[in-house]
Amino acid sequence: MKRVFVYLLLAVQTAQADAPKRVIEEVIVSAQKRAQSSQDVPISISAFDGDFMKDVGATNLQDIAAYIPNLQFSSDTDPALAQINIRGFGTNPVNAAFENSVGFVQDELFFGRPGYFSEAIFDIGRVEVLRGPQGTLFGKNTVAGVFNVTSAEPGESFSGDIRVSRADPEEKRMEFGVGGPLSEKVGVRLSGLAYEKEGDLQNTKRNEKADRYEQLAGRMKLQFQPTENLSSELTVIKSDTDSGYWSFQLSKLDDGTRDFVDNYDPEVEDDPHNHQLSHNAAGFLDKGSNTVGLKVDWDLSQLLGLNDLVSTLVVGSSELYFRELIDLDASPADVAKLGVASDFEQDSLELRFTGSRDSGLWGLGSSVEYVVGGFYFESRFEQVVDIVAGEDLGAYISTDDAAQLASGNNGTSTGVGSIPGLGGLIGAGVGAAIGDDRYRLEYLLDIEALAWFGQMTWYLNENWAITPGIRYNRERKRANAIGSGLCAGKSVGAPCILETALSAQDYRVIGTTREETDLSPKLSLQYFHGDDLTLFFTYARGFKSGGFNGASFSGDDLDFEPEEARTFEMGAKGVFLDQSLKLNLTLFHTELDNLQVLAFNGAFFDVTNAASAVSEGIEMDFTWLTPLAFLTLSGSAGVLNAEYDEYANAPAPISQGINTTQDLSGERLALAPEASASLSPVVNFPLTANLGLRASLDLLYQGEQFTDIDLDPETRIPAHTLVSARVSVGAQDQSWSLSLGGSNLTDKDVSNQVLDTVFFPGSYQATQKGGRKVYLALTMSW
């Protein structure tokens, strides 16, 4: 062993002596609709390439969230309802009427539904996360930030790679990308993904895994350059997901609820960290998307005699569908199920011009860079939601929980359905009498939006630059919203049982409309101290559309208002220590008006606008190529104070009574931990002239947070640190590598989200982050 250590030490010393000087590589991003260094962008941004995602074993966007300051994926175990929060602001996807707070753009196409965040992510070239409102260049629904994703390009020479991995618990993944020039004018890249996992959540009621998961996806990129000045790229993507659904397990059952559910599964329990649940329904999710995008670049510089003038046309069409079944009560009793069928279609077109000039404006300054354009977007979203009475609804109606929901009084008691053994007998008798009884929500939303935008960077001299920008957006929405009880007895005037239990009523709203206009300005000031340090100040504004409640039980007050965000940021981006240390620091203050929120009412969710909220804090990231040639350190940190400025009628915890309120003015936002951080040392050892070893460790810290809007103490998730690590052996020319890695290596029990349980006031349901996962991956490149 001593000889091995001495050999490695000598090898490292020899490599250090022979190795060229290490310098930080420039990261090129498209955050401002043009290719430029991330250090020149006057906003807080994190950027990762596809190699980083492979190195950390990331299989989706959620897996890189822990490396990004002040970013939360609060539904990172949910394949359908991806909820993303940046700096404390995000969208609750439970109500389909809500649009994104965080925008999603892939290969320059804007996608208009939160469900796209959980679509297949593979063969990635770059992921950029822009924090803060990005309304000027990216438009509506970017009040919190933007994910800007670029897939791998065909390249100038034939190349490819394939990665096969196997993880424990049973998880298999294969990803590939191959492409290059077919001729002087045509290039292509084909890529695909096959992903399958058995799951690790055991359903004791059905004796099966509740979170199985399968995903298949493919992409084709076809490039065509008929002339030196004209090029085009056609992208076609298809993704399909089939999984068990959903992963909420009962947590902290009160005595009455425990007695009731014990009738249906003697193994039922409320430990939220044992990877075990008890659902009577075989929940499922069938989800998929199809996307076609075309990008055409036309270099007009020679034609018009202007510098770098390029016209870019981006046209896209996409469809996204969901079919899902949920055990709504998350228990072994068959109280109610939730079925959802939704279809979304969108078409978009963007035409923009980018360019520069070597002289300033009005004889002032050295040069100007600009982008100006227009954007058109239309979409249609259709959804049918069925809340279906189960066979045990009759037994449930006779419980304390049902009486409390009906009366609004937590102390109301009947106790009948909770008597051991009796609940099942009541359920069998009354359930048969109830028959097919459901409450149906039908929702249709048409959107048409048109925007004009422009931004320029005016270099006043070699040290100063100013970047003004503005976007005008006009949007029209038209909606149908229908709620109806459906049951056999309705034809003779008898009430539907589930409609009555939900305190719902029939309503029909057809063709309701709203029109909104918005002006989103931006102003940045930059100071360049040589080539290595940039100081910046930015003011920006963004907005998120208002709309119509898609899950109302009454049809009253369907409208909710748009959100408006304003941010002030100042920061520094620099490269130091002879270009071996990159350090970025941003201070921000964001104000948001009319925050759109969902409030749990004991049975479902009400839509409201909180008065206002404020988010402020610090974000930092760094990469250091240490004097030890084999060691690189990188990390990030975020400090966040996000609170309601005014929210006098906020929902109170269910323990204070059903439909009661509280004043949360001055209190912190949910899903907004006060601190987050990551630290990743990486070492590279040469083993032979052609063989190398790479080892890395990740320490990922997340501060305390609440996961429900009412700040119920039961929804508090304590601060925690997760540990990941990897060891890889491979060729020095990166033609192959074999990696052994793992996440949550200490197998820490961490809740992901804790919420009130539907139908059982005073009890809770929770999801948990994955336990220890170890994987082996083989990567081959050529």
In this structure, what token pair is assigned to residue 575? 């490269």
pLDDT at 662 over 80: yes
pLDDT at 413 over 70: no
- Nearest of 316, 299, 317 to residue 308 by alpha carbon: 299
**Could you give the CA distance from residue 276 to residue 701 in angstroms, rounded to a whole number?**
26
Residue 683 near residue 695 (C-beta atoms within 8 A) = yes
pLDDT at 606 over 50: yes
pLDDT at 182 over 60: yes
Whether the bond into 181 is cis, omega within 30 of 0? no
In this structure, what token pair is assigned to residue 280? 């009577």
pLDDT at 88 over 80: yes
Q: Residue for token digits 């000039």?
A: 357
The DSSP line for 38-94 is GGG-SSEEEEEEHHHHHHTT--SGGGGGGGSTTEEETTTT-SS---EEETTEE--TT
Q: What is the pLDDT averaged over residues 369-388?
A: 97
**Could you give the CA distance from residue 557 to residue 512 in angstroms, rounded to a whole number?**
12
**Sequence-separated (6 or more) residues with CB below 8 Å from residue 494:** 487
Kindly report which listed range (144-153, 320-329, 411-420, 696-705) carries the lowest average pLDDT score.
411-420
Q: pLDDT value at position 73?
A: 85
**Could you give the CA distance from residue 46 to residue 676 in angstroms, rounded to a whole number?**
14
pLDDT at 756 over 80: yes
Q: With bands split at pLDDT 50, 70 and 90, how would you rate the model's confidence at 305?
A: low
Domains contained in the chain, CATH given? 24-781 (2.40.170.20)
- Nearest of 272, 288, 247, 320 to residue 75 by alpha carbon: 247
User: pLDDT above 90 covers what percent of the chain?
Assistant: 75
Give the dihedral of Cα atoms 256, 258, 259, 261; nearest 10 deg.
Answer: 120
In this structure, what token pair is assigned to residue 611? 């008065």
In this structure, what token pair is assigned to residue 55? 């190195």
User: How many C-beta atoms lie closer than 10 Å to residue 10's C-beta?
Assistant: 10
Whole-number Cα distances in Å, 98 to 92, 441, 448, 609: 7, 16, 16, 12
Question: Residue 686 is inside which H or E element, if any?
Answer: strand 675-686
Q: With bands split at pLDDT 50, 70 and 90, how would you rate the model's confidence at 8?
A: very low
**Could you give the CA distance from residue 176 to residue 161 in angstroms, rounded to a whole number?**
6
Whether the bond into 246 is cis, omega within 30 of 0? yes
pLDDT at 740 over 80: yes
Kindly report which listed range (281-295, 470-484, 606-620) carries the lowest average pLDDT score.
606-620
Q: What is the pLDDT averaged over residues 92-121?
A: 92
Residue 374 near residue 334 (C-beta atoms within 8 A) = no
pLDDT at 722 over 90: yes
User: How many C-beta atoms lie closer than 10 Å to residue 494's C-beta?
Assistant: 10
Q: What is the pLDDT averaged over residues 313-325?
A: 97
**Sequence-separated (6 or more) residues with CB below 8 Å from residue 415:** 256, 399, 400
Positive or negative CA dihedral for 389, 391, 394, 395? negative
In this structure, what token pair is assigned to residue 299? 């270099």
Whole-number Cα distances in Å, 765 to 201, 248, 390, 406, 707: 14, 6, 19, 21, 12
Q: What is the pLDDT averaged over residues 729-754?
A: 95
- Residue/partner pairs of 224-229 with CB below 8 Å, 24 or more apart: 224/185, 224/186, 225/185, 225/186, 226/185, 228/299, 229/298, 229/299, 229/300, 229/302, 229/303
Q: With bands split at pLDDT 50, 70 and 90, how would you rate the model's confidence at 246?
A: confident
Write down the H helix ranges in 494-581. 497-501
Q: 3-state class of 265 per DSSP?
A: coil
Q: 3-state class of 9 per DSSP?
A: helix
User: How many C-beta atoms lie closer than 10 Å to residue 483's C-beta?
Assistant: 23
68: phi then psi, degrees, rounded to nearest 5? -115, 125
pLDDT at 14 over 90: no
Q: pLDDT value at position 754?
A: 93
Residue 500 near residue 391 (C-beta atoms within 8 A) = no
Residue 191 near residue 161 (C-beta atoms within 8 A) = no
Q: pLDDT value at position 77?
A: 60
Q: 3-state class of 393 per DSSP?
A: helix
Q: pLDDT value at position 6?
A: 46
**Could you give the CA distance from residue 356 to residue 448 in angstroms, rounded to a whole number?**
32
Kindly report which listed range (24-28, 55-59, 533-537) carries the lowest average pLDDT score.
55-59
Whole-number Cα distances in Å, 641 to 214, 678, 716: 39, 19, 16
Q: pLDDT value at position 81?
A: 77
- Nearest of 50, 347, 107 to residue 221 by alpha carbon: 107
**Could you give the CA distance from residue 471 to residue 776 in angstroms, rounded to a whole number?**
48
Q: With bands split at pLDDT 50, 70 and 90, how would you rate the model's confidence at 13?
A: low
pLDDT at 658 over 70: yes
The DSSP line for 316-355 is EEEEEEEEEEEETT-SSS-SEEEEEEEEEEEEEEEEEEEE
Q: What is the pLDDT averaged over residues 129-152?
A: 95
The DSSP line for 618-660 is EEEEEEEE-SSTTEEEEEEEEEEEEEEEE-TTEEPPGGG-TT-
The DSSP line for 404-457 is HHHHT-TT----STTSTTHHHHHHHHHHHHH-S-EEEEEEEEEEEEEEEEEEEE
Q: pLDDT value at position 433?
A: 61
Q: pLDDT value at position 402?
A: 86
Q: With bands split at pLDDT 50, 70 and 90, how would you rate the model's confidence at 425?
A: very low
Question: Residue 135 is inside which H or E element, if any?
Answer: helix 135-138
Quote the pTM value: 0.93
Q: Residue for token digits 């749990």?
A: 600
Residue 739 near residue 779 (C-beta atoms within 8 A) = yes
Q: With bands split at pLDDT 50, 70 and 90, how would you rate the model's confidence at 154?
A: very high
In this structure, what token pair is assigned to residue 93? 């996807």
Question: Tell me: the pLDDT tens digits for 546-572?
Answer: 999 999 999 988 999 999 999 999 999
pLDDT at 307 over 90: no
**Could you give the CA distance from residue 21 to residue 30 in angstroms, rounded to a whole number?**
28
